[in-house]
Amino acid sequence: MKIRHLVISALLGLGGLYTISCSSSGNWKEAHDQKTNNDIILHAWCWSFNTIRENLPDIAEAGYTIVQTPPAQLCITETADDPGGGYQIFGHGRWYYHYQPIDWKIGNYQVGTEDELTELCAEARKYGIRIIVDVLPNHTAIDDTQVRPELDAAVGGHANLYHANGRTEITDYNDRLQCTTGQMGGLPDVNTENPAFQSYFLQYINNLIKCGVRGFRYDTAKHIGLPSDPKDSKSERNNFWDVVMGRESVLGNSLCMDRDSLFIYGEVLQDRNVKETEYAEYMGLTASGMGWDLRHDLEAGNWLSQDVSLYCHPADPYKLVTWVESHDTYCNDHESAHLTDQQIRLGWVYLTCRAYGVPLFYSRPAGSDGPSGNYWGNNVVGARGNDNFKHPLVVEANMFRHWMRGLSETVFFSDNGSIAEVCRGKTGVALINIAQKAEKVKIPTTLPDDDYTDIMSDRTFTVEDGILTGSMEPLSACILVRH
């Protein structure tokens, strides 16, 4: 479901070209003309702490300000069909093992130790980069016999670790009681409302902060109840978010750093009956609907296939995390894996050059080729992903975002839908052609009348009477900046 925030209006006399205006949501435009996002996230998916540290010079040079690591807590090493300890992304070892906690203590065999995380955070600070960690309080390993005795003891026994409904598989994700207390994909649902668990988990969060971590992605956040949600029979209050965001203490423990000093967002995938505006009171949210629309436009080779002029979300766009693809869309059923690296780059240019949302670049495995069905590439957990995160076009989009900080956005689409133009104030423009053929450009712009040269290709464009003209190669992007 898409919630419209911006007015879409046809420009009369220009053959069906479209623009967006920020005037339809009360004071939204006034509140955000000078409050654009500047951060850019690299999702170092399956990279180890040491691998991230070794690549910090390239990451910083490419313009990223935040690096998201894999989950850092203790996790399973084996399953019924895997004897354990393997370092393959998918095979002997699996990427999703680190999404199956057995205790909330720092360090696991796939990504590294507490000391290595501390060293990473210290080194990242030298480059002005914040490290954020993927955290997952909602469930334990499918095989809960692997849960550590220390965790069971801390929460008052193994039975108290889970919701009353925690081993009943969710059948209706739009039923909030099922969604927030039921088992998902075989993963038993933790009683996140148990004060003893809240205190134990908060100690983990505080220990990460003491290592130098400066933010978190909350995995499966929409499966953890809000104050307005129905309560599990074991729970007196749905106050998990109030505790971990520092609004409340629990059993003498509280968040050890001011919430506003941390970058926190939650995986709240959009669907019917998801309380996005209430979740947004606590944290940033994933703009999964916008990502879905963007991928379908890239597939169609036409920007008008789905409506990506909007952020497709009821929360303030300033609070959203945007992506072309996520690790889930790539790995689970490989829904986005058929997109080429160039298509990913073009979608990235569109997202990153816009004023709002914090774009997240998912690092695909090194040696992979999703369109051919080679999803795992070199198939080594801990290794660096492919070079797409530092491709020149990706870097130029990142730099454009930094250059245009504080400037409002206007988005135009060509009448045939092949070209999108992201304008930032009267200073810069990104043009993205997602068609499989060369295109003549004739599109309104906010740039003043003058001649402009693409930073990447030296291709020239002209603006006359508010219309930008030129030409573009198939599946290409151009970035124009007023000097």
Which tens digit of pLDDT belongs to each residue from 266-296?
999 999 899 999 999 999 999 999 999 999 9
Instruction: Please give the model's pTM, rounded to 2 decimal places.
Output: 0.92
- What average pLDDT does range 162-167 have in this prediction? 96
Alpha-carbon span 89 to 100, nearest angstrom: 15
Instruction: Judge whether 44 and 84 are in contact, CB under 8 Å.
Output: no
Closest by CA to 168, choosing from 152, 189, 192, is 189
The answer to whether the Cα torsion of 144, 150, 154, 157 is positive or negative is: positive
Closest by CA to 89, choosing from 136, 143, 48, is 48
Residue 283: inside a domain: yes
Q: Which residue has the higher pLDDT, 4 or 316?
A: 316
Alpha-carbon span 89 to 109, nearest angstrom: 13
Q: How confident is the model at residue 35 (pLDDT cuts 50, 70, 90)?
A: low
Active site residue 267: yes
Q: Considering the candidates 267, 316, 396, 439, report the single residue annotated as catalytic.
A: 267
Residue 113: inside a domain: yes
How high is the pLDDT of residue 13? 25
Residue 428: inside a domain: no
Residue 439: inside a domain: no
Alpha-carbon span 198 to 223, nearest angstrom: 15
Average pLDDT value over all residues in the chain: 92
How high is the pLDDT of residue 19? 29
How high is the pLDDT of residue 15? 27
Amino acid identity, position 100: Q
Percent of the chain with pLDDT over 70: 93
Residue 206: inside a domain: yes
Residue 457: inside a domain: no
Query: Torsion-angle region of residue 465: left (phi > 0), alpha (psi -120 to 50) or beta?
Result: left
Give the up-direction half-sphere exposure of residue 268: CA atoms within 13 A in the CB hemisphere.
30
Residue 469: inside a domain: no
Query: Torsion-angle region of residue 217: left (phi > 0), alpha (psi -120 to 50) or beta?
Result: beta
Which DSSP letter does residue 443 get? E
Residue 476: inside a domain: no
Task: Tell me the pLDDT tens digit for each residue of 344-399.
Answer: 999 999 999 999 999 999 999 999 999 999 999 999 999 999 999 999 999 999 99
How high is the pLDDT of residue 24? 25
How high is the pLDDT of residue 23? 25
Q: Considering the candidates 116, 189, 219, 396, report the single residue annotated as catalytic.
A: 219
Task: Tell me the pLDDT tens digit for each residue of 314-337.
Answer: 999 999 999 999 999 999 999 999
Count of domains observed in the chain: 1
Whether pLDDT at 467 is above 50: yes
How high is the pLDDT of residue 390? 98
- What average pLDDT does range 138-164 have in this prediction? 97
CATH code (residue 267): 3.20.20.80
Domain assignment of residue 81, given as a range: 37-405
Whether pLDDT at 434 is above 50: yes
Whether pLDDT at 32 is above 50: no
